[in-house]
Structure 1
């Protein structure tokens, strides 16, 4: 997911890549030091030793308060499967026990469920576990056994003494829907004490952003970039401070993301002859087990961080909004 603040940060990262083509450790396109920030200038930028008047230029990215056109999200806000992860984990059920099996050639992934199969339908205790890349068959077996009353893990095998255990493994997927589509206006401001430096910075930034219709956002998606206007702000020339504002409209989606596993456990009723109800299936794992959706959401957080690192490698931001080299 993304929001207006993080889209602005993505725009700041984009500007940093333009002005520092070799990374922040290299030279800027002007040869001067350029500080990029998601947010306004700080008092220290004007009055501290390292400031605009000491041949340091600043580029800030802020949201501009202007009425923007409304963009309608898809009618009905339909859910769509955006990503699906196939299971590389399996189970072998034999003699009332469940053995966890990993493929030797793939990264472990999937969701494993086990349940007692010798109780009346509709009441069978069960457990589920979302497998991570760091897991082994033994750790999965141990986690499942711990979630079952009287469960025992013997290496890669799960059992409940005196009971019949069954199991199944499946993949999981990410479903996404657009809850809001919006347009937000952003101001990219150049601040410098050198009028010629302003022209150079402006030319480089304007040319580079003019070539881009889309920029990568920090959740692995994209936002549409549209130029709106440009304005020189020379009211501070008496203080030897030159500024130029570029305005860009960015159109992006606010998303609702839901991870879910394939059908592993379930319960239902059928109407038999004479209206008699017939139940089937097993209860889904309860609160005592690992929360599978929470585990999958945690995986998504890792995926999102990897997406940001891929789109803007080597870039991070400090507590003041300044773009810095990632640790």
Structure 2
């Protein structure tokens, strides 16, 4: 999930790819060592041997004040959930007869995963009409059958089969899905600063960075999604000229989403589901 610091880091990565087109192991566009980071300069960046005063350039990405202005950006209407990723089950079930369900693990050695459920469908189940087990990689088919049988009154497990004498039994399996919801959409200002001890180097470095970012409308965030990049302003900050340090600031507004992420199983049954290993969930529709 993207947050303000993560967006700043993504902006710093974007600047690094511009200044080091051949990768960080290559040479920067200025031919000089250029340090790109999220956050302000440290005292060591100003006063040690390897500092801005010794032909080392710095580019920083920091959060800038938004002056308490309302962004005017609204999240999607209704805040809908969107499924991003789905994991299909590798386990399966087979109904041997009206009272017996067989649980099947993948025969080719594939890791067992998924949710296996049983459902008494003859209307005589009492308080618990259905049950489900989340299968883990170290589970055995007999162990899953035993746990399922223990959750249904009158059920019997033997090996990979479960049955309930005198009742109709159905088996179901389901996978998992990752869903996200946009809980907030915001516009945050960021400052990209170029620091150097040479005014001419500042001009060249700033021009390269400005031109490259001007061609970008979107940047990739750390979670693989996208954020909108909008240019706002540029200014020179020469208050440290007497220390031979030249700085140029570029102000950007980045629009990004704050997300809620949830992993959940696909629906097995329409009513009452019991989940194994200490958690339970119930639904009435």
User: Which TM class, normalised by the smaller chain length?
Assistant: 0.7 to 0.9
Aligned residues of 1:110 and 1:172 also touching (Cα < 8 A): no
Q: CA deviation at 1:129?
A: 1.5
Q: Does 1:38 align with 2:42?
A: no
CA RMSD of aligned residues (A): 3.3
* Equivalent of residue 126 in structure 1, options 116, 131, 154: 131
Relative to structure 1, is the Cα distance of residues 262 and 239 closer, same or farther in structure 2, using a 3 angstrom cutoff? same
Q: CA deviation at 1:66?
A: 2.2
Match of 1:73 in 2: 75
CA offset digits 1:56-90 (Å, max 9, x no partner): 11110000012343212223323334444444542
> Where do 5+ consecutive residues of structure 2 fail to align?
none
Q: Secondary structure at the match of 1:102?
A: coil
Q: Give the structure-2-normalised TM-score.
A: 0.80
Q: Secondary structure at the match of 1:35?
A: strand
Number of aligned residue pairs: give it. Answer: 269
Aligned residues of 1:265 and 1:284 also touching (Cα < 8 A): no
Match of 2:275 in 1: 285
Q: Give the structure-1-normalised TM-score.
A: 0.70
List aligned pairs for 1:39-58, cutoff 5 A.
39-58=39-58
Aligned residues of 1:113 and 1:265 also touching (Cα < 8 A): no
Relative to structure 1, is the Cα distance of residues 99 and 75 closer, same or farther in structure 2, using a 3 angstrom cutoff? closer
CA offset digits 1:229-278 (Å, max 9, x no partner): 101111101101111000011011112222322211453xxxxxxxxxxx
Match of 2:226 in 1: 222
Q: Does 1:59 align with 2:59?
A: yes
Greater percentage in helix: 1
Aligned residues of 1:6 and 1:217 also touching (Cα < 8 A): yes
Aligned residues of 1:73 and 1:180 also touching (Cα < 8 A): yes
Q: CA deviation at 1:170?
A: 1.8
Match of 1:111 in 2: 114
**Is the radius of gyration larger for structure 1 or structure 2?**
2
Q: CA deviation at 1:100?
A: 2.3
Match of 2:94 in 1: 92
> Where do 5+ consecutive residues of structure 1 fail to align?
268-281, 292-327
Q: CA deviation at 1:123?
A: 2.0
Aligned residues of 1:88 and 1:108 also touching (Cα < 8 A): yes
Q: Secondary structure at the match of 2:41?
A: coil
Q: CA deviation at 1:163?
A: 11
